[in-house]
Amino acid sequence: MSRFLASKWWLAAGALAVGLLAAFFAVAAGPTQARHCSEERFEAAAYMVCTIDPGRDDLRLFWRDAEGKPYRSFSNLARSIESDGLDLVLAMNAGMYTTDFAPLGLHVEAGETLRRIDTRTIDGPARQVPNFYKRPNGVFFVGNGTAGILTTDTYIDEAPPADFATQSGPMLVIDGALHPALIPGSSDRTRRSGVGVCADGMVRLAISNGNVNFHDFAQLFRLGLDCPNALFLDGGRGTGLYMPELRRNDRSWHGGFGPMLGLVEEKAGSSAAN
């Protein structure tokens, strides 16, 4: 083989190898868009945003299995509901929880209140008050084919019908305005998750791919997603997303999750679907 042909052969082989490696890493990285979720960029930060129609989609809250034990992982939840003929399409951590994985505040499943609403207040500088108690905190709820987010006090006063509800805090956006305690340029940066009910009536779950502060995360909902009301769910190691289409199955490094939001569908051919 001449040097010229040999050189062309090596160039072709090298190009093929690069192509194969690119294909491999593309498969390994997975798609950035699925039926309900897609990667979105806002103000130089990346987020995974999942859109749910409360009038059509079956969004539920989960905490404990049939034996009364917290699910703690998305995998445990997915396996458990299979026996009911259901698929877990996507899931995200819900409200904050205690060391035994119990919801810190209100938790309603299928119309049953499993944990009562928490109305305690903690006084002091905002940076010293735990996130859950940065007033106003709030409640995300789903009922009668609609969804809403209200401050805790308003939720108590209005008592809206709720098949599912989770309490967390702080509120991020309140009737189109940012929570007054959020500081532009804050150095308090970590991974964050939250939920918004948007102008089009859709529920949008968002989780940051990297570290963001409260102010920037709230602006994602207010300006990027057009959500007049949004609620912080959790941060740091308490955040997680389950999305099989995106090959996501996050773990909580606190030993597990407490309450979880899950979108479910009936399995094709199951008794539930017939």
Contact call for residues 232 and 168 (beta carbons, < 8 A):
yes
Residue 117, domain member (yes or no): yes
Chain-centre distance for alpha carbon 259: 11
CA distance 230 to 208: 15
Instruction: Say yes or no to pLDDT of 274 above 90.
Output: no
* pLDDT tens sequence across 168-215: 999 999 999 999 999 999 999 999 999 999 999 999 999 999 999 999
* pLDDT tens sequence across 3-36: 433 443 333 444 434 343 333 333 334 447 778 9
| Residue 270 banded pLDDT, cuts 50, 70, 90 | low
CA distance 6 to 12: 10
Give the mean model confidence (pLDDT) for residues 113-135.
93
The answer to whether residues 150 and 207 belong to one domain is yes
CA distance 166 to 15: 53
To which residue do tokens 């989770």 refer? 166
Give the CB-side neighbour count of residue 100, counting CA atoms within 13 A: 4
* pLDDT tens sequence across 139-166: 999 999 999 999 999 999 999 999 999 9
The answer to whether residues 25 and 143 belong to one domain is no
CA distance 257 to 240: 8
CA distance 148 to 190: 26
Residue percentage of the chain with pLDDT more than 70: 86
The answer to whether residues 2 and 109 belong to one domain is no
Q: What is the pLDDT of residue 233?
A: 98
Phi, psi of 195, deg, nearest 5: -135, 140
The answer to whether residues 10 and 47 belong to one domain is no
Q: What is the pLDDT of residue 80?
A: 96
Task: Please name which of 226, 263, 194, 232 lies closest in space to residue 54, comparing C-alpha atoms.
Answer: 263
The answer to whether residues 18 and 52 belong to one domain is no
To which residue do tokens 């593309």 refer? 26
The answer to whether residues 101 and 55 belong to one domain is yes
The answer to whether residues 11 and 131 belong to one domain is no
Residue 200, domain member (yes or no): yes
In 10 A of CB 79, how many CB atoms? 13
pLDDT higher at 272 or 105: 105
Q: What is the pLDDT of residue 35?
A: 86
Residue 273, domain member (yes or no): no
DSSP string, 3-57: HHHHHHHHHHHHHHHHHHHHHHHHHHH--SB-SSEEEEEETTEEEEEEEE-TTTS
Q: How many domains does the chain have?
A: 2
Which residues span the domain enclosing 16?
A: 1-30
The answer to whether residues 23 and 130 belong to one domain is no
The answer to whether residues 168 and 191 belong to one domain is yes
pTM for the complete prediction?
0.86
Q: What is the pLDDT of residue 6?
A: 40
Q: What is the pLDDT of residue 188?
A: 94
Q: What is the pLDDT of residue 10?
A: 39
The answer to whether residues 131 and 53 belong to one domain is yes
Q: What is the pLDDT of residue 30?
A: 44
Residue 17, domain member (yes or no): yes
* pLDDT tens sequence across 45-96: 999 999 999 999 999 999 999 999 999 999 999 999 999 999 999 999 999 9
Residue 107, domain member (yes or no): yes
Q: What is the pLDDT of residue 125?
A: 84
The answer to whether residues 14 and 130 belong to one domain is no
Residue 214, domain member (yes or no): yes
Residue 274, domain member (yes or no): no
Contact call for residues 246 and 34 (beta carbons, < 8 A):
yes
The answer to whether residues 107 and 240 belong to one domain is yes
Q: What is the pLDDT of residue 27?
A: 36
CA distance 106 to 162: 11
Instruction: Say yes or no to pLDDT of 253 above 80.
Output: yes
Written as six digits, the tokens of 225 are: 């997603």
Q: Is residue 207 within a helix (H) or strand (E), and if so which, with residue range?
A: strand 203-208
Contact call for residues 195 and 231 (beta carbons, < 8 A):
yes
The one-letter amino acid at 31: P
Residue 44, domain member (yes or no): yes
